Copies of this chain bind each other. A is one copy, B any other.
């Protein structure tokens, strides 16, 4: 019969060595308050007995779990995964683990996840709000409980009491479009997403700003705000747009990598030569643009750094004493244009 293996705990070591639990605990902490020889005895016994501290008991006692809760809208977007990698690397270096939850792009799930995290499982939260998220009371509620929060990406409104890590979308788009203009492109098409979303608004703003600055007329016919949320329909929208386009574009600025790729596919099919007749720039740069033939020029977001920065800010919050109020930070990260064959 398989005998029940009970975890060995401090008490077991204490009994074996005929000393108190307190001493064992301190010994394992290498606390100089316990005699060196005792410490050594304890270490040896702990090893011999296969002792493993109980993280849960530790957390209860210390009030710290050393876990960072991360909520992202979805798993299957390399952008978020790359951010998580940044968070994880930084967190791990500082002795934190991360607990990732997906909000499945739904406000409800986001709130549920947040509530789950409020139950004391995590020391703090890094969150990228859903596009659906319009209310921020659930986030504020967490903050009011004294739980540190850092927000990143897709923030449409600053939340008091949280740190923020963002991309300068506006500037990034401006730079990209400016680049096209300087290559003497005139008919620059814009492919954006749902215009109600802050990201797409900002990217659109950048486009407009650049066009205006260089006195290039803005033509409605060259502008598409995709309405669909799912990939298949995006494809249809983009195809229709270019099939029926009134003016031949000599460049396209696409607000996501996927829009960029779909655009390239469509234009190639329509017989355009890339980059001879038309240049393409995408936004995102997580692998796809590189694989395609011709490879696509992209605005690269500092995704990994975004995660690192978010983790850094959170851990800073941990270390701030909470009886004085600390001003919260807003970090804007710079993008960079990665030149490839499509321009």
A: which residues have CB within 8 A of B? 1-2, 4-5, 7, 52-57, 59-60, 65, 67, 75-76, 78, 81-82, 84-85, 88, 97-102, 115-116, 118-121, 144-146, 261, 265, 268, 287-288, 291-293, 322-325
Contact = CB atoms under 8 A, between A and B. Distances in A.
Closest 5 CB pairs of A and B: A55-B119, A54-B120, A55-B121, A75-B85, A56-B59
Contacts of A57: 60, 120
10 contacts: A5-B146, A52-B115, A52-B119, A56-B120, A56-B121, A88-B102, A97-B101, A98-B99, A98-B100, A292-B293
A293 B265 contact: yes
A115 B51 CA distance: 11
A288 to B, nearest CB: 6
Contacts of A5: 144-146
A281 to B, nearest CB: 17
A8 to B, nearest CB: 10
A56 B65 contact: yes
Copies in the complex: 2
A319 B139 CA distance: 35
Contacts of A53: 119
A112 to B, nearest CB: 10
Interface centre among A1, A56, A88, A288 (most CB of B within 10 A): A56
Given A57-B120, A100-B100, 10 more contacts: A2-B324, A4-B323, A52-B119, A54-B120, A55-B119, A56-B56, A60-B60, A75-B85, A76-B78, A76-B81
Contact of A82 (B56, B76, B118): B76
Contacts of A145: 5, 7, 52
A261 B7 contact: no
Contacts of A59: 56
Given A88-B75, A265-B293, A322 B4 contact: yes
